[in-house]
Amino acid sequence: MREVTATVLENVRIAEGVYSLTFAAEELPVNAGQFCMVGVNGFPLRRPIAICKSEGERYTVCYRVQGAGTKRLSQTYKPGEALSVLLPLGNGFSLEEGQRRVAVVGGGVGVFPLVAAIRQFAEEKQIYAYMGFRSRSSVCMEYDLRRGEKLVLATDDGSVGYHGTAVQAFMEDIEKVQPDAVLACGPTPMLRALKSATEGRGIPVYASLEERMGCGVGACLVCVCEKKDGTHARVCKDGPVFELGEVKL
Ligand SMILES: Cc1cc2nc3c(=O)[nH]c(=O)nc-3n(C[C@H](O)[C@H](O)[C@H](O)COP(=O)(O)OP(=O)(O)OC[C@H]3O[C@@H](n4cnc5c(N)ncnc54)[C@H](O)[C@@H]3O)c2cc1C
Ligand code: FES
């Protein structure tokens, strides 16, 4: 992990309330699902954001304007500006050799780390992606999401693709796809729904959890989650990817 002063290359709106920020920084190895902590002027705490793409010294993150920090990030960081970033953080997704048919299920800002997972695994695995958005106007990153065998877009209002959630769309396909593993990211209710829908099927689900974070590097314990065996884990350092069956949601 490094603390770097990056240079903003691009910070543009790509969907309703969603921005894509590309910055240049020292080249570092990044595993899909790892994230960075982005410093925003005027805010003591950095914001955790998944790394969507890393190509040499170019990194891209996508973020939804949620509160004051991401609003300022979208409004004041123009090309050429300096950006303080900690990266790469967390463990990221990994798949075993025999896990060849892989379903990727995401919703909301959980789509963004999964863009990285699809980019990383699409060449050697068969990827079936189910991605949930609020409506047509919030759909983004479609080009990257289409790198696998199949992409199903799901929208809450049915304005594009499947009318319903990504989990519902996936469960309608599960018998056909017969996945060896599932990669997932999204809000806790979505992960709960996925957990109960897949329980008892013997399919490992590796999910990236979203917890409020302070330091992002394992020191403050703000992000602690409870594991099924009664122990605790830091989402920033021990995760953010956990086998879904191991954690209490
Ligand atoms: C590992 C990880 C990866 C993430 N990746 C992305 C991504 O790729 N794209 C994206 O749009 N969002 C992502 N998020 C969520 C993102 O961190 C929050 O939306 C963001 O921090 C909100 O900041 P804010 O100042 O706009 O909101 P505020 O609500 O004003 O933030 C107040 C404080 O709460 C924290 N906070 C608020 N919401 C969250 C949240 N959901 N998760 C963690 N901390 C939060 C903020 O960091 C800040 O410290 C990720 C979160 C985690 C934990
Ligand atoms: S955010 Fe500080 S320990 Fe995880």
pTM (two decimals): 0.96
Pocket of ligand 2 contains residue 12 by CB under 6 Å = no
Pocket test for ligand 1, best of 16, 49, 209 (most atoms within 8 A of CB): 49
Pocket test for ligand 2, best of 37, 236, 238 (most atoms within 8 A of CB): 236
One-character DSSP codes across 124-170: TSEEEEEEEESSGGG---HHHHTTSSEEEEEETT-SSSEES-HHHHH
pLDDT digits (tens, 9 = 90+) for 218-249: 999 999 999 999 999 999 999 999 999 999 99
Pocket of ligand 1 contains residue 63 by CB under 6 Å = yes
Ligand 2 atom, smallest distance to 224 CA: 4
Ligand 2 atom, smallest distance to 213 CA: 1
pLDDT digits (tens, 9 = 90+) for 95-114: 999 999 999 999 999 999 99
CA dist., res. 184 & res. 118, Å (int) = 11
pLDDT digits (tens, 9 = 90+) for 3-28: 999 999 999 999 999 999 999 999 99
Average pLDDT over residues 69-92: 97
Ligand nearest to the backbone CA of 238: 2
Pocket of ligand 2 contains residue 221 by CB under 6 Å = yes
pLDDT for 14 equals: 96
Distance between Cα 233 and ligand 1 center (Å): 19
Pocket of ligand 1 contains residue 211 by CB under 6 Å = yes
Q: For a pLDDT cut of 70, what percent of the chain falls above it?
A: 100
Contact indicator for 41, 50 with CB cutoff of 8 Å = no
Tokens linked to 60:
């891209």
Q: For a pLDDT cut of 90, what percent of the chain falls above it?
A: 99
Banded pLDDT at 171 (limits 50, 70, 90): very high
Which residues of the chain does CATH 2.40.30.10 include? 2-89
pLDDT digits (tens, 9 = 90+) for 181-221: 999 999 999 999 999 999 999 999 999 999 999 999 999 99
Distance between Cα 127 and ligand 1 center (Å): 27
Banded pLDDT at 130 (limits 50, 70, 90): very high
Contact indicator for 4, 85 with CB cutoff of 8 Å = yes
Pocket of ligand 2 contains residue 213 by CB under 6 Å = yes
Answer whether CATH 2.40.30.10 is correct for domain 2-89: yes
Which residues of the chain does CATH 3.40.50.80 include? 101-208
Banded pLDDT at 64 (limits 50, 70, 90): very high
Structurally, what CATH architecture does the domain formed by 101-208 represent? 3-Layer(aba) Sandwich (3.40)
Average pLDDT over residues 110-137: 96
Average pLDDT over residues 57-75: 97
Ligand 2 atom, smallest distance to 216 CA: 1
Banded pLDDT at 119 (limits 50, 70, 90): very high
pLDDT for 29 equals: 95
Average pLDDT over residues 25-49: 97
Pocket of ligand 1 contains residue 239 by CB under 6 Å = no
H helix intervals, 42-141: 68-76, 111-121
For the chain, what is the mean pLDDT? 96
Nearest CA to ligand 1 atom 42: 212
Tokens linked to 11:
């910070």
Ligand 1 atom, smallest distance to 65 CA: 26
Instruction: Identify which of 195, 143, 198 has the alpha carbon closest to the alpha carbon of residue 173.
Output: 198
